[in-house]
Amino acid sequence: MLSHIPEKAQEEVTGSSSRSYQGSKLFEDFKDLKELDVHSILCLYSLGTFPENTELEKRFVIYWWIGLGLLPRTSWEKAKMHGNTIYSGLKEKGFLESIHNGKQNQVINRCTINPTVHKWLLSPNVSNVIFSFDQSEHSSSPFFGEWFKERVHINLDKKYLNVPINKELRVVHLGSWRYTEVKADNNANETGPKKPMSIDHIEIENPDVLKKLSENTTYLSLRGISGIEEIPESIGKLENLIILDLRSCHNLIKLPQKPRSTLKKKLSHRTRFKKLIGWKLPKENSQESWFNKLMVLDISGCYLLDHMPKWISELCNLEVLKGFLVGNVGKKNESCWLGDLSKLKNLKKLSIRTTTDMSPEVFRDFNSLESLLKLTITWRKHKIADYSLPKNLEKLDIRCYPEENVSKLMNCAELTKLKKLYIRGGNLTDIPSHKNWKVEKLRLRFLKKLDSTDWEAVRGLFPNLNYVEYVGCHHRPNKFPNDGICWIKEKDEPSLSANDSEIPIIHEAF
């Protein structure tokens, strides 16, 4: 797992940890520190890079650890599993503190470093061994010794970037890493981009510097950077790139274009002649390096993109794809369509947004994407044809649905593994449901046209429910507990079923 980290660095971490906390207040308050394994210690140390009291998204933390080589890079699912275990362990022992929602008092996927722990991470008795400090700006920027300093470049607080690029860089995080609070418009359909309440403004002085990244780069984040209109072709040729985060690059209008084979160009003007005389033409180089190892591609919030390039359907290792555009713009032979994603046999998580009327062929072959577990669809105000969804979905997030019901979903009975159902905005009047669904978590937000019903009837539709949330809905179920915000099932509370005689039945949406 730590193949990218020298043994000497690992020895320094484990050795210094025992020397540095002995006799300190931290040792008295956090006796579990000595029980951490080397992976957890390294992951904890790596978060000392960020300022005190910073809110960090869990997703970003996992990305960060993968980029540093602290988690396995063979699979996103494996990396996430290991990362979740370490993340949860650090929270349970008090090194990381969870962020709670004020109204529902629910743990959100964000955390801060315990202030005492953060001070200890920056203390001299630790930093002399583990960290080297960049004092050029009179601020502490800890990295794991010289090895990490040479291979990690993160923009902590710069608004205008003049990036020094060297061939040893593995992690290049130029964009925003802070958690950004967003406020939705909260109209009936919640269309359009969200309104950021606070966000870093970052500009890169010379975008051509991106062309100098070396093949050693594994993690590249340009999140939220202004002024980037296109991604250079050279990014696609980074043989070891695992994560590409382009989220909220609002000026981005063009993703990199995969070059045609040079062999094909050289032979094209002689192809007809060679065929006539019976020569055997050499095969094109189909193994040309192009995002060969990419596991995560995030292009959500890039609203100026008008089509998806064809090469997206060729990313055989892709497991997470966010911000995929579904529309009728672009040439059919050059654009990637939703049905083309059925070729991605490892894709586990997908978010898409639609821009035009949905014809039946748009969703053709989409339900054959059997590996997909999590799907988010953001609809626009347009007509919807009959469609089917991948049958192994465990989480379905529907946003801005334009119709009153989802009767055009043709294979609802096949979604037998669905455990999480989230609906945000739109015109739905009924809660989508089916007797074959096993929904445990239900979130309903800003559904202004949702009809009022009875709380027991809602629970009857979903016998396995353990969490329900109503936010911004004009009509909540009668007798809904906890002031009509959220309900959490008690451990000893019995489950309800629509078959129970005392429970009023409301019709299913299908």
Burial of 115 (0-12, 13-18, 19+ CB in 10 A): exposed
Burial environment of residue 70 by CB neighbours within 10 A (0 to 12, 13 to 18, 19 or more): buried
The predicted structure's pLDDT at residue 169:
87
The pLDDT value given to residue 356 = 76
Q: Does residue 84 register a pLDDT over 60? A: yes
What is residue 298's predicted lDDT score, i.e. its pLDDT? 97
At residue 102, the pLDDT reads: 56
160-195 pLDDT per residue, tens: 887 777 778 899 999 988 875 444 434 444 444 444
Where residue 196 falls among pLDDT bands split at 50, 70, 90? very low
* 3-class state of residue 357 by DSSP: coil
pLDDT digits (tens, 9 = 90+) for 308-341: 999 999 999 999 999 999 876 556 667 898 989 9
Please tell me which residue, 106 or 143, carries the higher pLDDT value.
106
Give the C-alpha separation, 144 to 42, whole Å.
Answer: 9
- Contact (Cβ atoms closer than 8 angstroms) between residue 156 and residue 176: no
Q: Which tops the pLDDT comparison, 69 or 121? A: 69
Q: Quote the pLDDT of residue 286.
A: 45
Of the listed ranges 245-254, 457-466, 493-502, the least confidently predicted one is 493-502
Instruction: Kindly report which listed range (38-52, 127-141, 281-295, 409-423) carries the lowest average pLDDT score.
Output: 127-141
Distance CA 255, CA 313 (A): 14
Which pLDDT tens digit goes with each residue over 115-160?
A: 888 887 776 555 444 443 333 333 334 445 666 777 888 888 888 8
Tell me the residue ranges of DSSP E strands in 73-151: 96-100, 107-113, 131-132, 143-144
pLDDT for the residue numbered 382: 76
- Report the 10 Å Cβ neighbour count for 211: 12
Are the CB atoms for 469 and 458 separated by under 8 Å?
no
Cα distances from 195 to residues 28, 223, 248, 267, in angstroms, run 45, 16, 12, 52
Q: Kindly state the average pLDDT of the residues 274-297.
A: 70
Question: H helices of 422-478, where?
Answer: 455-461
- Percent of the chain topping pLDDT 90: 39
Q: Rounded to an integer, what distance in angstroms lies between the CA atom of residue 481 and that of residue 385?
A: 38
Decide if pLDDT at 46 tops 60: yes
The residue that leads in pLDDT, 252 or 474, is 252
Residue scoring higher pLDDT (317 or 14)? 317
> In the structure, what pLDDT confidence band is assigned to residue 433 with cuts at 50, 70 and 90?
very high
Q: Are 41 and 125 in contact (CB under 8 A)?
A: no
Collapsed DSSP state (helix, strand, coil) of residue 321:
strand
Average pLDDT for 394-403: 95
pTM beyond 0.75: yes
What separation in angstroms does the CA of 352 have from each of 341, 377, 385, 425?
Answer: 11, 5, 16, 16
Structure tokens at 92: 């349970």
User: What are 349-386's pLDDT values in tens digits?
Assistant: 999 998 877 777 888 889 999 999 999 999 987 788 88
pLDDT given at position 186: 41
Structure token pair of residue 130 = 């583990």
- Is the pLDDT at 97 greater than 50? The verdict is yes
Q: Supply the pLDDT for residue 503.
A: 36
Chain-centre distance for alpha carbon 124:
36
Angstrom distances, CA of residue 389 to CA of 186, 193, 343, 371, 444: 27, 25, 15, 12, 20
Task: Give DSSP secondary structure letters for 260-285.
Answer: PPHHHHHHGGGHHHHHHTTPPPPPP-
Yes or no: say if 422 and 395 are a contact pair by the CB < 8 Å rule.
Answer: yes
Both tokens of residue 230?
Answer: 């296109």
CA dist 279 and 215 (Å) reads 37
The C-alpha atoms of residue 427 and residue 211 are separated, in whole angstroms, by 46
pLDDT of res. 280: 58
The H or E element spanning position 85 is: helix 76-92
Closest Cα partner for 295 from 324, 323, 258, 320?
A: 320
pLDDT above 60 for 282: no
**What is the pLDDT averaged over residues 56-82?**
91
Model pLDDT for residues 201-244, shown as the tens digit of each residue: 888 888 888 888 988 899 999 999 998 999 999 999 999 999 99
Return the pLDDT at 238.
93
Using the predicted structure, report yes or no on whether residue 272 has a pLDDT greater than 70.
no
The average confidence (pLDDT) of the chain is: 78
